[in-house]
Amino acid sequence: MSWPPGYGHLPLGEIASTLDEAARRFPELSGPTWITATRQTCARGRRGRPWENPEGNFAATLVLPAVAPETAALRSFAAALALFDACAAVTGRPEAFALKWPNDVLLNGGKLAGILLESLMARGGMAGLAIGIGVNLADAPGAGAVEEGALRPVSLAGATGARVSPEDFLAELAPAYAGWEAQLTAFGFAPLRTAWMARAAKLGETITARLPAEEVTGVFREVDAAGYLVLSTSDGLRRIAAGDVFF
């Protein structure tokens, strides 16, 4: 696939975090830009948890200027769909991958990739969005690196035998993301929602959403038009805007 028009690429060596670099360099970027790193020393995941980044894995942040706050969270679905497409392209095995709400890509039931969104601020308001992406291409952290009950980490090489460099993976991911971003901009969330649901893990099965003050268990019915997780519980339908899902 060819590099998407209008998107830049800033390749870096060893840094603390591509998300940190996105926040620092945002004022000097003129358009959507991929920031990649050969190694991150202080990578992070959701709720500030450390993200291990062994050598040979994919570490990047996509900077998107001028994203409306009300649609920012929907970019997580665009990124997940692009990751699914890139993984299918480099392995030829789309059936092995699934998407886990709100921001993970699974391979044979294990966690392969994660997505983290952070707002980029200027003059007291949101001026852009940083989409942090980590993919276990070459190696996966041990089970001790994840919280209790979380899915086991897996790597692309270990689970499929596919040896893919970060550069080659980006060459698939960047145009795939640009395609989904274009659909979101032109047609809204509906086509992404349909595509995401077709690739969803555990749809129609019982899952648990861990929230700051409670846990909600129910049957995974859908992701609604706002991107919320919808569970059918003993107390009726619950719409969940943010949380960690376990199954």
Q: Which domains, ranges and CATH numbers included, belong to the chain? A: 8-198 (3.30.930.10), 206-246 (2.30.30.100)
Task: Please calculate the CA angle 117-121-122 and round it to the nearest 5 degrees.
Answer: 160
What's the rounded Cα separation, in Å, for the pair 111 and 116? 14
- pLDDT tens track of the chain, all 247 residues? 799 999 999 999 999 999 999 999 999 998 999 999 998 887 666 655 656 677 899 999 999 998 999 999 999 999 999 999 999 999 999 999 999 999 999 999 999 999 999 999 888 889 999 999 999 999 998 766 666 667 899 999 999 999 999 999 999 999 999 999 999 999 999 999 999 999 999 999 999 999 999 999 999 999 999 999 999 999 999 999 999 999 9
pLDDT of residue 42: 77
What is the edge-to-edge ordering of all strands in the sheet holding 104-107? 8-15, 33-40, 58-65, 125-135, 110-122, 104-107, 97-100
pTM of the model: 0.94
Question: Looking at residue 41, what is its pLDDT?
Answer: 85
pLDDT at 40: 84
